[in-house]
Amino acid sequence: MHEEEIEKDLGIRGERVCPRCNKGLVIVEAKGEQIDICDECGGIWFDPRELDIMMGEESPVELLINIKDPIKSEKLKCPECREYMGTKEIYGVVVDECGICNGIWLDAGELEKILTEEGRAEAPYRHEEDELKQYYDKYWNMFRKKYRDLMD
């Protein structure tokens, strides 16, 4: 999660436990929701619907997670109900989802990866055009510097 999205650190260590570090999660406020973050490893726990709220109204991430088939990966215990979570791959990111309470655990950096990949899925050619323009500008500027005398 981007730091600017966290509006207020409530400074409360909740009862939920990080599935990676086994430390109490800290409750923070972001976009009007109270979410749980591990201040040790940076993982984030989302109650049902909170991930879509964080990503915006149009986000289909939780819907995509619900329709994806499980994959085999490391088993983590749910911060809420302490049962083992299943894993699913979404936009190339392995997410942990509890089949009982429907919460979602994202390790540090995974939210940013999902946001990036979701943007690419919505407009796949926009990124290619941007990269092509940067490539073109870079080499055109090199050409101009090298042959400046010929162009003036």
pLDDT of residue 44: 92
Domain span at 40? 3-123
- Residue identified by tokens 């010929």 is 150
CB-CB neighbours of 126 under 10 Å: 11
Could you read off the pLDDT of 91-143 as tens digits, one per residue? 888 889 999 999 999 999 898 888 787 776 666 555 555 665 665 566 566 65
Is residue 152 included in any domain, yes or no?
no
Domains held by the chain: number? 1
Residue type present at position 11: G
Is residue 103 included in any domain, yes or no?
yes
Is residue 116 included in any domain, yes or no?
yes
Q: Are 58 and 78 in contact (CB under 8 A)?
A: no
Is residue 139 included in any domain, yes or no?
no
CA dist 145 and 150 (Å) reads 10
Tally DSSP H helices, then E strands, for the chain: 5, 7
Residue type present at position 5: E
pTM, 2 dp: 0.64
